[in-house]
Amino acid sequence: MKEKFVYFFSKKLSEGSKEMKNLLGGKGSGLAEMASIGLPVPAGFTITTEVCDLFYKNDRHYPAGLEKEVDENMRKLEKEVGKKFGDADDPLLVSVRSGAPLSMPGMMETILNLGLNDRSVAGLAKKTGNRRFALDAYRRFIMMYGSTAKGIDREEFNHAFETLKNQHTRKRLNLAAHVKVNDTDVDESELEKLVTEFKAIYKKLIGKDFPQDPKEQLWGSVDAVFGSWMAEKAVTYRRVEKIKGVVGTAVNVQQMVFGNMGPKSGTGVCFTRDPNSGENIFYGDYLVNAQGEDVVAGIRTPIKLSEFEKADPRSYEQLVDVRRILEGHFKDMQDLEFTVEEGRLYMLQCRTGKRSPGATFKIAVDMVNEKLISKEDALLRIKDKDIEGIFYPIIDPDQKDEMKKNFLVAGIDAVPGAATGKVVFNAKEAEAAAAKSEKVILVRKETSPEDVGGMHAAQGILTATGGKTSHAAVVARGWGKCCIVGCEKLNINYEKEELSVGDIVVKKGEEITLNGSTGQVYRGAMRLIKPEPPASFTTLMGWVDKIRAIKVRTNADTPYDARKAVELGAEGIGLCRTEHMFFDTEERRLAIQEMIVADTLAGRIEALNKLLPFQKEDFKGIFQAMDGFPVTIRLIDPPLHEFVPHTEDKQKQLAQKIGVPFEKIRLRVEQLHEANPMLGHRGCRLTITYPEILDMQVRAIIEAACECAAAGVKVSPEIMIPLTIDKKELQILEIRTRQVADGIIKTKGAKLKYLVGTMIEVPRAALLADQIAEVAEFFSFGTNDLTQMTMGISRDDAGKFLPEYVDEKKAGIFSDDPFQSLDQAGVGMLVKMAIEKGRKTKPELKIGICGEHGGDPKSVEFCCRVGMNYVSCSPFRVPIARLAAAQAKIKETK
Ligand code: PEP
Ligand code: MG
């Protein structure tokens, strides 16, 4: 079958529909749909996005047959409207507009009045009986074509227009110097002069006459629209907005209607509901006697729709009718563009309207209550960004100009939200500043566990290295703290206490702003706003919980985080990283360091006994906060070198504090050094070597649980062994865990049920999951390590090259960052296989995920599909995971 590149739309014949958004773009499919349901749409045609794709694939050449198809559609359009393109008596004029499948501000603007030339302008004047109007349309066209299609600086035209107004119009009207001359004051003969001048500007800068052949004008405009798809601003916009899989823009050619024909004409933009609050009120602006670009250029202040109603009730009524029909038809809030020509309404665009996160929830819930959509449809409309938007502070979007001016650098958007503060370069200073109620941003090359105090104290964290599962990202995510990592262009000079990006230097104490939702960093303090979660959010999340089939837990290490997570809907803890508890206070830090430095078992046990009460207290707090929900506590995981100081200064301080010779500490730290610590002495390899650490941690867990139970708090502990690689290894630790736990339970005469299970983080454990399930009562997939080890890519260093792997315009090897969204093809295959093998051995095996993927919607959908019992994520992502779980269920049912 012959390929079709052009789709016609008119009231009589509409070849496209709303389902063809990918092919016709948002604008094209909306116009086709509106035309087909009988709304007043000026006729026209759409050149498909596929043409754009082929254009780039064929070295900027159009596919064969396109020109002929465009010609045929032009003839069809002429027939439909009864006018001829370029006609000297009654010319057909068209607009040319771009329209991608997703709305993309920053793409090419519109070209209006195309088809005007020295001949047809006279025809338009004659036909309308309004020569001034025809000349005005012509000067607009020359300016739009010259600037938008040919790249002439708009200012060249504006300057000429202003000069004319001041030198001629002002004199003619005798206006004082301070009085503004309006565009509408310029008369016919002055416009005639202006057209001549505009053409001269065009010739001077382009080196050719302004094209008189309408066909040449048309192709010049079509070229420009397709060319704009790859313009830097459009490419950047798609990258920032993570728009992928969209092949190109469409081009819409449509008969012109005129909003600038007098007081009964005008043009406007409106939303069928308030896009900020979500209220069911008609919302928009209207400009009397104007063309579309006047609204954008802001040359006059538009009036509100309520004033439009008063000024022109008949036209307004037509618009209200259209609003009702379109909402009923599209079943969503629409963003409309329209023109009124001499009292007749024409629709120029309809598309799903962008809205604030708060409005998203209100509109979805209202539409269910109005029986416009089902609850399921409402839920499928909500995106993770909408939920993020109502919990995190954001940069007040009114500061677009400042943002442009003060942009400094961009990194990886690790934790959303925004933060402002003074730059500090070390954690201690961040803590000290926070103690004085100063707001700071902690800037580090990378962070380490020693920095957690300062990270917590800071408003936001910025690092030059690392990816989405680096230490900084994981810790900050747990707190919902704005964080940008992997900012490779950032030079940090700790000695000089300054950061720089190219020539720009920011010194300690100067303010910066982070936008963790986009990864962008700005100089200065931007104004932040914190949206309030609307009541409709609670209503909608109630529906979510009724629908979803999988539980949502949280990764939390403190009673505070645990409580926060429960408030956000968590139904248990899927991962409590116990080592974070060792850093909380100096007393704890010293105790663990003393344990590491001790060279006898008795010495280690003595130091561990100092830690025991702290761990126990933390566990009690967490059990209380979780009030009967399961709590999975993981035994020590990181390599021991992470707990000891590495600089001579700090080692000397430690020596003094714990009364051990400096040399001994130095040697021990040296001894702990590993060439490849991520594959070294960590996880359960530590408790195989030092089972006394396991003894202390299990004791703390079980004693805390028994004491809580005795006080009437329901407890459900699950003890988790990390990084298991073998059944025998797990068995040794499981037996020891049960010996300690059962001993305590027996001594206390308590009735306590607990589980012992393992993380699946190493490919070998996934491969041998059937054997491991003989010992484990549950599996929890640690997909941060499982991704790292399956792919052989360091989770802490991936920032150096992964962005290129993910960028469609660079290598484009992966569609997503595998540390953020589970690599379903590779790592996912191991997960799926391990679940099947594990359940073959033990059908009731409880299975969850606690890697960062547990809060990523696509990964949550995968976890549902492969039959996990729960996902676990940081507290602030709990609502996102709940929603994703419900969406997965709805999709599965559908
Ligand atoms: C994991 O590896 O996925 C995990 C949850 O453990 P951690 O991030 O602490 O290594
Ligand atoms: Mg891990």
Ligand having the closest approach to the CA of 478 = 1
The winner for highest mean pLDDT among 142-151, 270-279, 462-471, 714-723 is 714-723
Q: How far is the CA of 762 from the centre of ligand 2 (A)?
A: 9
**What residues are in contact with ligand 1 under a 6 Å CB criterion?**
474, 575, 577, 637, 761, 782-785, 850-851
Atom of ligand 1 nearest to the CA of 780: 5
Q: Looking at residues 592-609, what average pLDDT do you find?
A: 95
Active site residue: 850, 863, 864, 873, which one? 850
Strand-strand pairing, 460-463 and 504-507: unpaired
Residues in Cβ contact with 386 at an 8 Å cutoff, skipping those fewer than 6 apart: 357, 360, 361
Q: Is the pLDDT of residue 544 over 90?
A: yes
Best residue for ligand 1 mutational test, from 784, 821, 856, 859 (most atoms within 8 Å of Cβ): 784
CA atoms of 494 and 291, how far apart (whole Å): 56
Q: How far apart are CA 484 and CA 411, in angstroms?
A: 6
Report how far ligand 2's centroid is from the alpha carbon of 637 (Å): 7
Ligand 1 atom closest to the Cα of residue 761 is 2
Q: Say which range, 114-128, 446-460, 670-684, 853-867, has the weakest mean pLDDT.
A: 446-460
- Whole-number Å distance, alpha carbon 646 to ligand 2 midpoint, is 23
Does residue 241 carry a pLDDT above 80? no
pLDDT digits (tens, 9 = 90+) for 756-792: 999 999 999 999 999 999 999 999 999 999 999 999 9
At 275 the pLDDT is 84
Please write the tens of the pLDDT for every residue from 309-327: 999 999 999 999 999 999 9
Ligand found nearest the CA of 471:
1
The pLDDT score that the predictor gives to residue 424 is 96
**581: pLDDT strictly greater than 90:** no
Q: Are strands 283-288 and 303-304 parallel, antiparallel or unpaired?
A: antiparallel
Task: Return the pLDDT at 639.
Answer: 93
| Distance of alpha carbon 881 from alpha carbon 869, whole angstroms | 13
Mutation probe of ligand 1 site: the residue of 452, 475, 575, 581 with most atoms within 8 A of C-beta? 575
Say what percent of the chain tops pLDDT 70: 98
Active site residue 706: no
Of residues 401 and 693, the one with the higher pLDDT is 693
Rounded to an integer, the average pLDDT of 838-853 is 98
Hey, whose CA ends up nearest to atom 6 of ligand 1?
782
- Please give the pLDDT value at position 169: 93
**Ligand 2 centre and the CA of 351: distance in Å?**
45
Distance 723 CA to ligand 2 centre (A): 7
Task: Provide the pLDDT for residue 731.
Answer: 98
pLDDT for 299 beyond 60: no
CA of 406 relative to ligand 2 center, distance in Å: 38
Residue 47 has pLDDT above 60, yes or no: yes
Question: How many other C-beta atoms lie within 10 A of the C-beta of residue 2?
Answer: 6
Of the two residues 475 and 160, the one the predictor is more confident about is: 160
Protein residue whose Cα sits closest to atom 1 of ligand 1: 782
Looking at the DSSP bridge assignments, the partners of residue 285 are 269, 304
- pLDDT-derived band at 110 (thresholds 50, 70, 90) equals confident
Write out pLDDT tens, residues 637-672. 999 999 999 999 999 999 999 999 999 999 999 999
Atom of ligand 1 nearest to the CA of 781: 3
C-alpha closest to that of 460 among 556, 401, 395, 387? 395
Predicted confidence band of residue 847 (pLDDT cuts 50, 70, 90): very high
Question: Which mutation among 633, 759, 822, 849 tests ligand 1's pocket best, with the greatest number of atoms within 8 A of CB?
Answer: 759
The 10s digit of each residue's pLDDT in 440-496 is: 999 999 887 778 888 989 999 999 987 776 778 877 877 778 999 888 899 999 999
Average pLDDT over residues 57-66: 96
Q: How confident is the model at residue 108 (pLDDT cuts 50, 70, 90)?
A: low
DSSP 179-212: SPPPGGG--HHHHHHHHHHHHHHHHHHHSSPPP-
Catalytic position from the list 52, 350, 456, 471: 471
- Give the ligand at the shortest distance from the Cα of 781: 1
pLDDT in tens, 194-209: 999 999 999 999 999 9
Distance CA 717, CA 662 (A): 40
Query: Can you tell me which atom of ligand 1 is nearest the CA of 782?
Result: 3
Give the mutation target among 634, 850, 853, 859 for probing the ligand 1 site: most ligand atoms within 8 A of CB.
Answer: 850
Annotated active-site residue 708? The verdict is no
Give the mean pLDDT of the chain.
Answer: 93
Site of tokens 């709990």:
878
For residue 193, what pLDDT band results from cuts at 50, 70 and 90? Answer: very high
Tokens matching residue 529: 């706003």
| Nearest-atom index, ligand 1, CA of 637 | 9
Distance 472 CA to ligand 1 centre (A): 13
Tell me which of 229-243, 397-411, 680-694, 863-877 is least confident.
229-243
- List all residues 6 or more positions away from 31 whose beta carbon is below 8 Å from its beta carbon: 9, 16, 41, 44, 46, 252, 254, 347, 348, 349, 350
| Residue of the CA atom closest to atom 10 of ligand 1 | 785
User: Residue of the nearest CA to atom 9 in ligand 1?
Assistant: 577
Ligand 1 centroid – CA 851 distance (Å):
5
Look at ligand 1, atom 3, and give the residue with the nearest C-alpha: 782
Taking the alpha carbons at both ends of the chain, their separation in whole angstroms is: 33
Q: Which atom of ligand 1 is nearest to the CA of 788?
A: 2
Helix axes 384-391, 357-369, angle to 10 degrees: 120
Shortest-distance Cα residue to atom 8 of ligand 1: 784
In tens, the pLDDT along 406-447 reads 999 998 888 888 999 999 999 889 989 988 989 999 999 988
Q: Whose CA is nearest to atom 4 of ligand 1?
A: 782
Closest CA to 336 of 381, 388, 271: 271
pTM of the model: 0.81
Dist. CA 829 → ligand 2 center (Å) = 18
> Which residue out of 760, 785, 787 has the highest number of ligand 1 atoms within 8 Å of its CB and is therefore the one to mutate?
785
Contact by Cβ (8 Å): 869, 779: no
- Ligand nearest to C-alpha 575: 1
Q: What is the length of the chain?
A: 894
**What is residue 182's predicted lDDT score, i.e. its pLDDT?**
84
Q: Which ligand is nearest to the CA of 473?
A: 1
**So what's the pLDDT on residue 798?**
83
pLDDT exceeds cutoff 90 at 567: yes
The pLDDT of residue 261: 85
Of 298 and 852, the one with more pLDDT: 852
Q: Ligand 1: distance of its center to the CA of 240 in Å?
A: 28
Taking the CA of 787 as reference, the closest ligand is 1
Q: What's the one-letter identity of residue 563? A: R
Determine the distance separating the centroid of ligand 2 and the alpha carbon of 551, expressed in angstroms.
21
Specify the higher pLDDT residue, 151 or 199. Answer: 199
Q: Does residue 742 carry a pLDDT above 90? A: yes
